[in-house]
Amino acid sequence: MLLIACPWCGPRDEAEFHYGGQAHVAHPEDPAALSDEEWARYLFFRDNPKGLFAERWSHAAGCRRWFNAVRDTATNEIHAVYRAGEPRPVIT
C-alpha cells in the first residue's frame, strides 16, 4: 500500500485516498467548438505510460482535497505531490 504525502495533511495510507486518473486534462472551454473526435479524445482517451505519470488523487477520508502527484507507474514511487492548479513539476 502506497504512502502518499497529501500536500495538506502529510504522509497517509493509500486507503484514505481516491484515485482520479490522469491530471491536467481540463474540461474544454467551449465543447461546442470541438469536433466529435476532439470531444471523444477528452472523454475517452488517457495516457497510460510506463514511467512518470501526473495523476489526480483526492484525500477522500481526510481533508477531502484534490491534488496531483507524479508517480512512476513501473515502481510506484511518488516523485512529487502538488496542489490542484499548480503546474506539473519537472522531475529530473
Partner 1 sequence: MSGRPYRREGVTGRVLRFRFDGRDLEGLAGDTLASALLANGVRTVASSVRLGRPRGVYAAGCEEPNAVVQIEEPFPEPMLTATTVELYDGLVATGLPGRGRLADRPDPARYDAVHTHCDVLVVGAGPAGIAAAGVAARAGARVILADERPEPGGGLLGTTETVDGRPGRAWASAEIAALTALPDTRVLRRTTVIGHYDDNYVVAVERRTNHLGAAAPPGMARERVWRIRAKRVVLATGGHERFVAFAGNDLPGVMLAGAARTYVNQYGVLPGRRAVVFTTNDTAYAAALDLADAGIEIAAVADVRREPGSAWADWAWADRCAERGIEVLTGHVVTAAKGEGEVTGAEIAPRSGRGTREVAADLLLVSGGWTPVAHLFSQAGGTLRYDEGLGAFVPGETRQAAEAAGFAAGVTTLRDCLADGAEAGRRALTALGFGAPGVTVPVVEEEPANAPAEHLWLVESGDYGTHFVDLQRDVTVAEVLRATGAGLTSVEHVKRYTTAGTAHDQGKTSGLLTSGVVAHALGVDVAGLGTTTFRAPYTPVSFAALAGRDRGPLHDPVRVAAMHEWHVARGALFENVGQWKRPWYYPRPGEDMGAAVLRECAAVREGVGAMDASTLGKIDVVGPDAGVFLDRLYTNMMSTLKVGSIRYGVMCRPDGMVFDDGTAIRLADDRYLVTTTTGNAAAVLDWMEEWLQTEWPDLRVRCTSVTEQWATVALAGPRSREVLAALAPGLAVGNADFPFMTWRDAEVAGIEARVCRISFSGELAYEINVSSWYGLALWEAVMASGEVTPYGTETMHVLRAEKGYPIVGQDTDGTVTPQDLGMEWIVSKKKADFVGRRSYARADTSRPDRRHLVGLLPEDPGVLLPEGAHLVSAPVAGPVAPTARPTARPTALAAPPVRALGFVTSSYRSAALGRTFALALVSGGRGRVGERLYAPVGDDLVPVTVTSHVLYDPEGARRDG
Q: Given the rule CB under 8 A, which residues bind partner 1? A: 1-3, 13, 18, 20, 26-28, 30-32, 34, 36, 39-40, 42-44, 56, 58, 60, 64-66, 75-77, 84-85
Judged by beta carbon, residue 13 or residue 47, the one nearer partner 1 is 13
Pairing of strands 52-58, 66-72: antiparallel
All cell numbers assigned to 24: 491536467
CB 81 within 8 A of CB 4: yes
Candidates 83, 81, 61, 62; CA nearest to 71 is 81
Report in angstroms how near the CB of residue 3 gets to partner 1 at its nearest. 4
Report in angstroms how near the CB of residue 80 gets to partner 1 at its nearest. 15
